[in-house]
Structure 1
Amino acid sequence: MAPKPAGSICESGSRAKASSVQDCMTLYSSVEDGGEGGPACFHRIILIVSGLKCGCCESGLAKALSHIPAIRNHTVNIVLARVEFDLNTSELSIQDVISRLHKDTGYTFEQLEQPDGQILELQASDPWDIYGAAKPFGVTWLESRDKKTWTPAALLNGRSSTAPGELDNTERGQQVGPISQEKRSGASLFMHTIRVHYDAKQIGAREVFEYYKGICHNGDLQLASIGSHPSLSVGFYQTKRASLMFLVSLAFTLPILVFAWAPVGHDNRGYAHASLALATIVQAIATREFVPGALQSLVHSGLFEMDFLIAVSTTTAYVFSVVSYVFLIKERPLETGSFFETSTLLVTLILLGRAVNEFARFRAAKSVSIRSLQTNEALLVISEGPLGPGVVTRKIDARLLQYGDYFKVPSHTRIVTDGRVVYGGSEVDESMITGESLPVAKGLRHQVHAGTMNGAGQLVVELTKLPHENSISRIATMVENAELSKPKVQALADKIAGHFVPAIGIIGILVFLIWLFVDRYHNNRRWADAVVRALTYAIATLIVSCPCAIGLAVPMVVLIAGGTSARFGIIFRDPQKLEVARNTTDIVFDKTGTLTKGQLAVVDYDGTGSRDIKSMIMGLLEGDKHPVAAAVIHWMEEDQKNKGENIVPAKMLDIQSEPGNGVRGKPEGRLVEVRAGNPQWLGVSVLESQHTLLCVTVAGVLCATFRLEDRPRAGTDEVVRLLQARNIRVHMISGDGEGPVNAIAHTLNIPKAHTRWRCKPEDKQRYVHELQKDGRVVCFCGDGTNDSAALKQADVGVHMNQGTDVAKSASDVVLMTTRLHDVLILLDISKAAYRRIIANFSWAAIYNVVAILMASGAFVKVRIAPAYAGLGELVSVLPVLLIAFQMKWRDYGRKYRAKESR
């Protein structure tokens, strides 16, 4: 079955939803059919591409996508072998797009499924037991991996519904006959994979598994095997295939090299006959590898790709090898002598370069794969009673964990999923999330994260996040979504690569003509000898040039930089900002929760002791997540304990929050309005101080004033100093009053001219915009919902951990920790990535200029023979890979940790 389209949005602005499984099937069937006359409905589609051979394949694939009118906003990631685009499914179905792309490019495409919610994949020899059974509460629908989906209505009639986009040998809409005994018998011949979609808050994974296991004949049910990510699977397959092609070619090439170069009696015609046969096999491999894709790109996209030049060159070399063989048989050998070793070695070295290229791309994708840190097994605590070192455990598949579970973490093992420690103590290496090499002490009620490594102690942990929603999954999802975006500098690389092959083709023709006439008229050679000699120069010129270095210069660095930054807990949601961040001239920090800890404490209370007033204050603020409200509630609860009071929060109606001002509401059964916020919004006069103020009015009368205090984060003053040392202007902006803002600014040495107070969300956005109007590149760091507009306005919006989801969705970069020096690491990684991109471009330019001059004979005495020109891809691409991988070997946070430890 086709996966559920994620985020499908029609032109009318309504988001498609289905209230039931049957409605869902009807909706998606109409979408897949490409109904005519309806409004345009765009779905975001991701495809995995098989068959990419080098870094210069991107232009042809991008052009093929641009030729399909139903597609817009397409991006291609050549390293991950993925494409993403918005598809108007009311005009064209996904299967039609895949067929058309395959026809135009020759590559194979498979849709990457991104299911919503929790899914359990089961395997059964007889799936009819599962399809025919009543669904337990919490299971929403069943999806067959054999391209069929079974709906409740269809099962009642003993009929199956074909999945949208799949006809399954019947016309769409035609009913399938009743489930027969023959079908049941046939189904048991092999294992069927069934996806069970369920609500994890209503039913657990083990409960789902045990329910269906109980209704299957002989309990013949098991979990489906865990497969690797599609991008990695494709990368592994292509690496294995490229390596196999190289080894086969090498096996047939080596005897030819022995016949040509070893002292074996070159007058023996048998060696020439054997060389012809072996070279023909090698040429067949080359034809299979290079010709189909080259012709498809030329015919359907009008592009001359590198495969075209390779196909022409290798074919020409082989043809003239045969010509040389014929002249040798007729005892009229050409001046160039034997040619078979040239053509076969040329093909073999090209295949070697492709194999190394594929391996490097696969290793790059694998090196930044966060999901590999997910542990597949868990020790489930099954004993009842007190938790302790003697708890009884059972090893289960991690996918069968559910809410309410406790699991044991033995020493020196990875933590399965996010949770809260309920017994034991240990030190945990959290470098996977934080980038910090020093282990963190964990004890009772401490939070632990999936993928982090436990130390010498043992822990019993209460599960708080299921595997599909834990830290690993969240980070991996953000990284994978970001990897498909491209920085603007990639446009330059695409433009150069697009003109590269035609330019090299023209240069190759000129080289052939120049050497043809030089040899004929200057060196007085025969036309036959001149043609063969000129061809050797032309072939070497065409083959030695390589746009792969240009094509991989940017995406390889972006991929490695994204993985490196994720290792330090920095997630680039938009890789374009990887290029922009290095140019930052101004950084604007929100105060509360960013520069300060956001853990406010009430230091003074001035107001009535009326239980009624306190009850209304608690009722108004108890559901508010703002740091000020949380601090006031905490103080009031502690004050009650100290005084032995028990005040019940009043029930409030019509509660409305005004970002930057405060909150208002009405007590149930009373006409008065209660407000809590800053004094300016309330219109009351309060003596200004260096504390944060929260005033409360009832019916417009001031009844209470809370003075709160916050403290800067550890090391914040050092971060501000280092930023200013880089000539970056530091600003602070807040919705707080002038007193506390100035106090923090003075402590951190931020100029008063660069601070603003009592700012509403629109004021923060306006402040950033004013800086941008002066030509400044602004980075904004914040964590609250009221920072969202400024985060979106800034050139680089940075969201601090523990902030709101609204702020996170508006940001370009997400910091998974609360350490402020991560901003410095962000800037360092941005600069390092840019330097490596420039280095890659420089190397690609230097290599191609020098190699083409040497291959074309411009240096006369120093040239690259056509037999060795096939090494061009290997020689040009390896430095690009090494330059990019250098980022993985550097610890960008070491110097900042050293400063903090002093």
Structure 2
Amino acid sequence: MNCIQIPIFFMRVICPYVPLLSSLLLWRCGPFQMGDWLKWALVSVVQFVIGKRFYVAAGRALRNGSTNMDVLVALGTSASYFYSVCALLYGAVTGFQSPTYFETSSMLITFVLLGKYLECLAKGKTSDAIKKLVELAPATALLVVKDKGGRCIGEREIDSLLIQPSDTLKVLPGTKVPADGVVVWGSSYINESMVTGESVPVLKEVSSSVIGGTMNLHGALHIKATKVGSDAVLSQIISLVETAQMSKAPIQKFADYVASIFVPIVVGLSLVTFFSWYISGILGAYPEEWLPKNGTYFVFSLMFSISVVVIACPCALGLATPTAVMVATGVGANNGVLIKGGEALERAQKIKYVIFDKTGTLTQGKASVTDAKVFTGMGRGEFLRWVASAEASSEHPLAKAIVEYARHYHFFDEPSATSQTPSRESTVSGWLLDVSDFLALPGRGVKCFVDGKQVLVGNRKLMTESGIAIPDQVEHFVVKLEESAKTGVLVAFDDKIIGVLGIADPLKREAAVVIEGLLKMGVKPVMVTGDNWRTARAVAKEVGIQDVRAEVMPAGKADVIRLFQKDGSIVSMVGDGINDSPALAAADIGMAIGAGTDIAIEAADYVLMRNNLEDVITAIDLSRKTFTRIRLNYIFAMAYNVIAIPIAAGALFPSLGIMLPPWVAGACMALSSVSVVCSSLLLRRYRKPRLTTILEITAE
């Protein structure tokens, strides 16, 4: 800040009322009074040392062929300073003492710097989300020391920065998880709300993944570190929020353009103001009594001109968008909604269609086998054994559900019902059979050889493409499953269908309400899935979606999105961020549901850290409220200039005697910038719509 302004202010306000100090300042020292020497020296330091930044920035802008607020500050303060120097020198030569305005120059710079300081304080509050995230990471960790045989022989406290992947760490109750990892021993409930926004503690057992920075509530855990440093989820979140806060929204380009043409206009208005008052005074259009003591028409006009330059600085206009974007991205992070940047935030307010994936998005993603029917003489146990062996190499959620179901089925007690099945002596991994030539066919199923025999597990399309006929009784059973919102998985052995599995994936409890909430907001929901039409329609009917696209391959989802984009509509895709990554990238706004995998963060514009559809509503609602606030900021900033410039130019002086000295204009300019920042900070009071009130949301 400008501490030199204190003695200048003291000399102007206090000293005239203290006889000793007043006489000292009036004491003539050479051609000038002592007060003039002191003010000139002190203000020169303010103008060219403290105010150097404005000259540097203004020069840089002019060299680049543009103008900004620094140009206006440099013009206004220089006019005041150099006029005062000329008046002082003219008085020394002629003996005619003209008033000087050194205080105006120093006070202008002081108020501009005060405004910048207050802006920094206000904008600093917008980074609270990042500070809170950084503070989540614990400083130390408890390393489990093992011998060469892998046995635990001790514990050692280490700095968290020294954690390496594969290290085994002990997490005590009431302490934070030091790194991303997998539980290898123990069970406990962990509070992940500070990262995901989910308030309910999550049970963690062996093989469960944990996120660094979350709080262990109950039992002790041993975790194996998997991601450390910049690869950790917490670090990626912090990086994402920082990038978003530094990015520009497209609407900011409009503000930059307005500012670039506004400055030359202001300079022109300043010159018009000066010549209007000066020529009017010379022509006798207003009385000499209006002039300040010992003042001239030139000085009188110059003060109005400088006030126009200073009060019209477009600082508030330039702050309207970036401050709101910074606050919004921070608020989003606090609510588990990570926004990749201002552009994504701006586009989300205009979303017309939200396209949902089915599995893991509208449904819980925890598929379970509900039916298993064999249409040949093969025993159920052997049937499940064959299917599980084929699906064990697949990463698809349905495949994992089949393997898990078979694992819990006690088929070893069931005698082999057919001579075609391989003997138990050929099993590997305890109970699975040998598999070769495994091939995953996206949107169809899997094909492989089990002990030299071909096995196909998948949908009708896979069977049809493989030339396998589907018997009527099998088709009838599959139709019944699909009409019950279940997925029918056909199993063929040596070109003959031998059985069907029915798999159900329960809908998320909030799905139907969120869909209705989107409709109330004027957003049309669409479901796109690779599942069959009957299952897709049954699920869509249950949640209230009218527009359904089924039997769509992963790559085809991107084509569906482009179809909706043809008329210029803004389309959002909500998926799990893995097999939906092409669609997430093709959409105008990609929203990845889940714990924020690398692929989700890379492909999506929004990462919804909680596995909760309510956050889709939150993302759109936050975007709309943010840009409502930005528009209000612009209206406020422009209205301020429309009102303030005529007053600064002296429009009210003839009738009301109201005049804004340049230093008052500088104070008003600084306060206008701070007021815009404070307006943006009101977004910190944002509360996401709750499930019970989503239906009350209306489109803005």
| Coarse TM-score class (shorter-chain normalised) | 0.7 to 0.9
Distance 1:736 1:424, change over 3 A: closer
Aligned to 1:496: 258
Q: TM-score, normalised by structure 1?
A: 0.65
Q: Does 1:745 align with 2:540?
A: yes
Aligned to 1:891: 687
Paired with 1:263 and 1:518, the residues of 2 have a C-alpha distance of 40
Q: Does 1:316 align with 2:112?
A: no
CA RMSD of aligned residues (A): 3.3
Aligned to 1:767: 560
1:520-563: CA deviation from partner (whole Å, max 9, x where unpaired): 22236599711111111111111112222222221222222112
Aligned to 2:393: 623
Distance 1:785 1:681, change over 3 A: farther
- Deviation at residue 897 of structure 1 after TM alignment: 7.5
Distance 1:863 1:331, change over 3 A: same
Q: TM-score, normalised by structure 2?
A: 0.83
Q: Is contact 1:260-1:338 (8 Å) kept?
A: no
For residues 78-93 of structure 1, the aligned pairs below 5 Å read: none
Aligned to 1:545: 312
- Deviation at residue 597 of structure 1 after TM alignment: 0.9
Q: Does 1:343 align with 2:105?
A: yes
1:734-756: CA deviation from partner (whole Å, max 9, x where unpaired): 211233223322322333xx123
Distance 1:595 1:881, change over 3 A: same
1:63-103: CA deviation from partner (whole Å, max 9, x where unpaired): xxxxxxxxxxxxxxxxxxxxxxxxxxxxxxxxxxxxxxxxx
For residues 127-146 of structure 1, the aligned pairs below 5 Å read: none
Aligned to 1:662: 445
Largest Rg, 1 or 2 = 2
Q: Is contact 1:250-1:348 (8 Å) kept?
A: yes
Q: Which amino acid aligns with 1:279?
A: V
The one of 357, 379, 385 equivalent to 2:142 is 379
Count of matched residue positions in the alignment of Structure 1 and Structure 2: 642
Aligned to 1:723: 518
Aligned to 1:333: 97
Q: Does 1:635 align with 2:405?
A: yes
Paired with 1:584 and 1:310, the residues of 2 have a C-alpha distance of 41
1:810-855: CA deviation from partner (whole Å, max 9, x where unpaired): 3222211211111111111111111111111111111222222221
Paired with 1:421 and 1:724, the residues of 2 have a C-alpha distance of 41
Aligned to 2:211: 449
Q: Is contact 1:425-1:442 (8 Å) kept?
A: yes
Q: Which amino acid aligns with 1:855?
A: A
Distance 1:426 1:899, change over 3 A: farther
Q: Is contact 2:392-2:399 (8 Å) kept?
A: yes
Aligned to 2:180: 418
Distance 1:427 1:899, change over 3 A: farther
The one of 642, 658, 676 equivalent to 1:862 is 658
The one of 278, 281, 284 equivalent to 2:48 is 284
Q: Which amino acid aligns with 1:536?
A: M
The one of 11, 17, 23 equivalent to 1:256 is 11
Distance 1:807 1:697, change over 3 A: farther
Q: Which amino acid aligns with 2:329?
A: G
SS in 1 for 2:531: coil
Aligned to 1:46: none
Aligned to 1:440: 201
SS in 2 for 1:464: strand
Paired with 2:95 and 2:50, the residues of 1 have a C-alpha distance of 29
Distance 1:253 1:360, change over 3 A: farther
Aligned to 2:418: none
Q: Is contact 1:259-1:271 (8 Å) kept?
A: no
Aligned to 1:571: 338
The one of 462, 471, 478 equivalent to 2:223 is 462
Distance 1:897 1:253, change over 3 A: farther
Aligned to 1:736: 531
In structure 1, stretches of 5+ residues that fail to align are 1-245, 385-389
Aligned to 1:533: 300
Q: Is contact 2:4-2:42 (8 Å) kept?
A: no
Aligned to 2:163: 401
Q: Which deviates further from its counterpart, 360-369 or 535-544? A: 360-369
Aligned to 1:596: 363
Q: Which amino acid aligns with 2:648?
A: A
Q: Is contact 1:594-1:781 (8 Å) kept?
A: yes
More helix by share: 2
Aligned to 2:457: 676
- Deviation at residue 642 of structure 1 after TM alignment: 6.7
- Deviation at residue 764 of structure 1 after TM alignment: 2.8
Paired with 1:778 and 1:376, the residues of 2 have a C-alpha distance of 43
Paired with 2:11 and 2:216, the residues of 1 have a C-alpha distance of 57
Q: Is contact 2:2-2:46 (8 Å) kept?
A: no
Distance 1:620 1:477, change over 3 A: farther
Q: Does 1:582 align with 2:343?
A: no
The one of 508, 518, 524 equivalent to 1:713 is 508
Q: Which deviates further from its counterpart, 835-844 or 359-368? A: 359-368
Among all aligned residue pairs of Structure 1 and Structure 2, give the percentage whose two residues are the same amino acid: 28
Q: Which amino acid aligns with 2:239?
A: T
SS in 1 for 2:249: coil
Aligned to 2:698: none
Q: Which deviates further from its counterpart, 247-256 or 637-646? A: 637-646
Paired with 1:652 and 1:410, the residues of 2 have a C-alpha distance of 42
SS in 1 for 2:195: helix
- Deviation at residue 421 of structure 1 after TM alignment: 5.3
1:879-900: CA deviation from partner (whole Å, max 9, x where unpaired): 222222222233325x237889
Paired with 1:804 and 1:665, the residues of 2 have a C-alpha distance of 29
The one of 111, 119, 125 equivalent to 1:357 is 119
The one of 280, 294, 304 equivalent to 2:67 is 304
Paired with 1:582 and 1:414, the residues of 2 have a C-alpha distance of 37
Distance 1:516 1:720, change over 3 A: same
1:636-694: CA deviation from partner (whole Å, max 9, x where unpaired): 222246747974344444433222112223457x4x54322111331243221232011
1:30-53: CA deviation from partner (whole Å, max 9, x where unpaired): xxxxxxxxxxxxxxxxxxxxxxxx
Paired with 2:216 and 2:371, the residues of 1 have a C-alpha distance of 43
Paired with 2:312 and 2:644, the residues of 1 have a C-alpha distance of 7
Q: Does 1:557 align with 2:352?
A: no
Paired with 1:430 and 1:261, the residues of 2 have a C-alpha distance of 65
Distance 1:344 1:773, change over 3 A: closer
Q: Is contact 2:77-2:108 (8 Å) kept?
A: yes
- Deviation at residue 405 of structure 1 after TM alignment: 3.7
The one of 570, 573, 578 equivalent to 1:777 is 570
For residues 799-818 of structure 1, the aligned pairs below 5 Å read: 799-801=592-594, 806=599, 809-818=602-611
Q: Is contact 1:657-1:664 (8 Å) kept?
A: yes
Distance 1:502 1:372, change over 3 A: farther
Distance 1:588 1:561, change over 3 A: same
SS in 2 for 1:817: coil
Paired with 1:616 and 1:803, the residues of 2 have a C-alpha distance of 34
